[in-house]
Amino acid sequence: MEPNELREWEQKCIQEEPPQCTAACPIHLDARLFVRQVGEGDWGGALKTLAKTMPFPRILGRICDHPCEHACLRGEAGEPIAIGALERLCVETVQQRVVPSMLPRKRLAIAVVGSGLGSLTVAWDLLRKGYDLTLFEPGSRLGGSLWSLPENILPPEVLSAELELLTELGATVELFAKVGRPNTVVTLSESFAAVYIGLDTQGVNLNLLDLDDQGAVQVDPLTMATSRTGVFAGGRADDTKSPIAAVLAGRRAATSIDRFVTNVSMESGREKEGPYATLLYTSLAGVAPLPRIAAANPASGYNAEEALKEAGRCIQCECLECVKVCSYLEKFKGYPRKYAREIYNNERMVPGGVHRANLLVNSCSNCGLCATVCPNDFHMGELCHDARLSMVARAKMPPAAHEFALLDLEFSSSDKFALARHEPGLTASRYLFFPSCQLAGSAPGQVSEAYGFLRQQLSGGVGLMLNCCGAPGFWAGRDDLFYAAIRTLRTEWHALGEPVMIVACSSCLAIFREQLPEIPLVSLWEVLEQTGLPNTAAEAGRLAVVDPCSSRLDPAVQKSVRRLLERLGAAIEELPLHGDKPECCGFGGLMANANPALAREVVARRLAASDSDYLAYCAMCRDHFTAAGKRTTHLIDLIFPVETREDPAGRPATGWSLRHENRARLKEALLKELWGEATVTVAEYERRRVEIPPDVLALMEARRILVADVQRVIEYGERTGNRLRSEENGLCRAYFRPHRVTFWVDYRQQGEGFIVANAYCHRMEIVRSSHEHV
């Protein structure tokens, strides 16, 4: 990933944008955090949050005119949060001192004239930045018009105590300062690195500064600079009308002064000073409107209990739309913007990078739900796919992540399963049935029935293509394997006379649509709508339809499936996430390979959506759900019932070994029955007859060990004699490494065959061994 690509990804995810309240606050107080702390009763923390942004929090917390409240999103569901009132209670009740953090001293002297709210803010900010600051006040006390505020709003003792902070922070204060002389501005700007003049100060001689049309001192609204270099000004006599506006003006001036004396551009990068429109999106779905909590005694404001309730109304605005619907995004405890950064750091080997990044990249199911719900279409699957391609290119992809699925792809595209033919007896094909490797592996009998039905119903020839669409290669970032698969399919389709392809699997459809746009495609379900259903079709009851994630962009297929179900008499239940929002079953993106535990959680989450039986039209969805104990029918089980007519949902889940076997048997059977050909060469190891008890088979399934692997080990052990023998019970144990996994099998001979007692495997390779005994 290039740095600019990282930035593009980061910009797409607006989760870190500030909430409405903070963006509307002229000084960007973290109101969301503040309100949360109040809601948690953490008053000390809440005061610290105020002090982080506010100058003189005990003053401003009482008098701020809170423009944030107009923007507060709660206003769209009831009334805005009373942020101002909460601030007031906070500074009233918490007595602990707040000492602002200070930067190291800079030994640069700045002058501030006047001590209204704007001047005080300039002084506060610059003192904290480490400047030597002298405050010139012509009057007898600091505070300017702040003293004119009603006592119940700003008690005089609070004001004087807070003003004392200035000297504590190290300011030099000159009261009765002579600032009315004609050369005041010159003298100050010659003796100080920069000068700020509060225009709300009585009796300052401003004769050297240019005036605007209204006769006031001309001040640049962005930088608060006057016509004289190094002299800044702000503040009006009526500052108390909007105290926070006065504070903003002071803060702008302080920023300019800091930049001016350190020779940094005063203009650049100031767009987000003051109120601005945030890009944060927060959904109000499910947020019931709530009115503002009223104080029992309006004159004294909220008591603690009322404040807690009021703060409890805060939505704690944030986006996380994608995280709410995706177990994977939730699992890694962040959100896409963070993940993009982690993946980038990992790829660039930034020191301190997070070591979970490989797992992060390989766990996404690439289902695209995130992009559907994200206000900016952030597609985590694309980010992860790019990262996988890069890992493969840099030889950093752990083989364990995808190898098993890639071997499945290899099997399906091998002679064991792959086939492309015209209908028996014909030399042309108007159609070409592509049942998909997974449906053939899960429901071979139903596929065979469907092919028969299509031949019977459609004229012009229905060819058959058995193969894999290459999806595992795509998901694994193995473009070499993926495009090889696509090329083969294209070549065979040409050779068969470019027929219309009838595709049963939504994943295949999605891939073909993108990679093979020249092929006319139609889904099996749409075809069956046209031909009508066979009269052997089963009747359907109440079913909740689980759309596969790959049907997200295919409303036509989704509708077609529903119409077929209606014809079968089904009472259709729609799940909360359907249509363009289905989740994945954990197979997509090879999640179940790279992160089986997460895939189980994903399945559990989908199963929790309804108690009804599920109806799937993706073989992997059906098998994953069935394996997790959910009664799930595949649509093909209803339309072409094979021994499942009584209870189509009762068909057991198909494990990996059985899938291979089913595919191979389907091909054999079709070759024999339809084309009158006997098959297929059988490898030596396949002749080893093995008997595997169900518990061992289940263990093998979990450990991703195929029956064929076990046969290979036994064949090797028996052929070479390289095997161990238990002295206790005569059991044999042999090991063999056909690919990149070493398989171990415990077995015992029985008649012509073998009984398997256990199987396990590891990926570490045995390089050599030596014994210590001489």
Listed in sequence order, the residues at least 6 apart from 327 whose beta carbon sits closer than 8 Å to its beta carbon are: 598, 601, 602, 605
DSSP strands (E only) in 17-60: none
Residue 118 binds ligand SF4 (CB under 6 A):
no
Q: Determine the Cα–Cα distance for residues 125 and 131; give it in Å rounded to an integer.
A: 9
Residue 320 binds ligand SF4 (CB under 6 A):
yes
Strand partners, 760: 744
Q: Site for ligand SF4 (CB under 6 A): how many residues?
A: 42
Of 125 and 321, CB closest to ligand SF4: 321
Residue 552 binds ligand SF4 (CB under 6 A):
no
Nearest distance, CB of residue 361 and another protein, angstroms? 10
Which among 392, 394, 384, 397 has a CA at the least distance from the CA of 343?
384
Position 126: which residue type? L
Residue 481 contact among another protein, ligand SF4, none, beta carbon within 5 to 8 Å by kind: none
Binding segment for ligand SF4 among 222-230, 295-303, 363-371, 406-414 (CB under 6 A)?
A: 363-371
Nearest distance, CB of residue 591 and ligand SF4, angstroms? 7
Of 398 and 753, CB closest to another protein: 398
Q: Determine the Cα–Cα distance for residues 184 and 304; give it in Å rounded to an integer.
A: 50
Of 260 and 716, CB closest to another protein: 716
Residue 380 binds ligand SF4 (CB under 6 A):
yes
Of 356 and 542, CB closest to another protein: 356
Q: Determine the Cα–Cα distance for residues 379 and 587; give it in Å rounded to an integer.
A: 18
Residue 149 binds ligand SF4 (CB under 6 A):
no
For residue 422, give the DSSP letter.
Answer: P
Binding segment for ligand SF4 among 219-227, 316-324, 430-438, 565-573 (CB under 6 A)?
A: 316-324
Tokens found for residue 528: 């069956």
Give, in order, the Cα–Cα distances in Å from 628 to each of 444, 598, 606, 623.
22, 13, 11, 8
Strand partners, 463: 432
Binding segment for ligand SF4 among 15-23, 157-165, 204-212, 340-348 (CB under 6 A)?
A: 15-23
Query: What is 57-69 written as a DSSP string?
Result: HHHHHHH---THH
Q: Determine the Cα–Cα distance for residues 38 and 42; give it in Å rounded to an integer.
A: 6
Among 213, 271, 646, 727, binds another protein (CB under 8 A): 727
Of 249 and 319, CB closest to ligand SF4: 319
Residue 317 binds ligand SF4 (CB under 6 A):
yes
Burial 207-234 (b: 16+ CB within 10 A, else e): eebeeeeeeebebeeebbbbebebbbbb
Q: Determine the Cα–Cα distance for residues 638 and 208; give it in Å rounded to an integer.
A: 92
Nearest distance, CB of residue 561 and ligand SF4, angstroms? 21
Q: Site for another protein (CB under 8 A): how many residues?
A: 38
Among 4, 95, 459, 770, binds another protein (CB under 8 A): 770
Distance from chain centroid for Cα 25: 29
- CA torsion sign for 425, 427, 430, 434 is positive
Q: Determine the Cα–Cα distance for residues 303 and 186; give it in Å rounded to an integer.
A: 52
Residue 675 binds another protein (CB under 8 A):
no
Distance from chain centroid for Cα 417: 38
Q: Please, which of residues 576-615 interact with ligand SF4 by CB under 6 A?
A: 584
Residue 400 binds another protein (CB under 8 A):
yes
Residue 381 contact among another protein, ligand SF4, none, beta carbon within 5 to 8 Å by kind: ligand SF4
Q: Determine the Cα–Cα distance for residues 254 and 607; give it in Å rounded to an integer.
A: 58
Among 723, 737, 739, 748, binds another protein (CB under 8 A): 723
Nearest distance, CB of residue 142 and ligand SF4, angstroms? 33
Strand partners, 277: none
Residue 31 binds ligand SF4 (CB under 6 A):
yes
Position 351: which residue type? P
Tokens found for residue 759: 């199987």
Among 262, 726, 749, 750, binds another protein (CB under 8 A): 726
**String of contacts with another protein for each residue 401-440, x by CB under 8 A:** x---------------------------------------
Of 314 and 714, CB closest to ligand SF4: 314
Give, in order, the Cα–Cα distances in Å from 563 to each of 433, 453, 503, 507, 568.
21, 19, 18, 21, 9
Binding segment for another protein among 297-305, 309-317, 684-692, 730-738 (CB under 8 A)?
A: 730-738
Listed in sequence order, the residues at least 6 apart from 527 whose beta carbon sits closer than 8 Å to its beta carbon are: 454, 458, 502
Residue 20 binds ligand SF4 (CB under 6 A):
yes
Residues in contact with another protein by CB under 8 A are: 355-359, 398, 400-401, 703, 720-728, 732-733, 735, 742, 744, 758, 760-773
Residues in contact with ligand SF4 by CB under 6 A are: 13-15, 19-21, 31-32, 35, 72-74, 81, 83, 314-317, 319-322, 326, 328-329, 335-337, 364-370, 374-376, 378, 380-381, 584
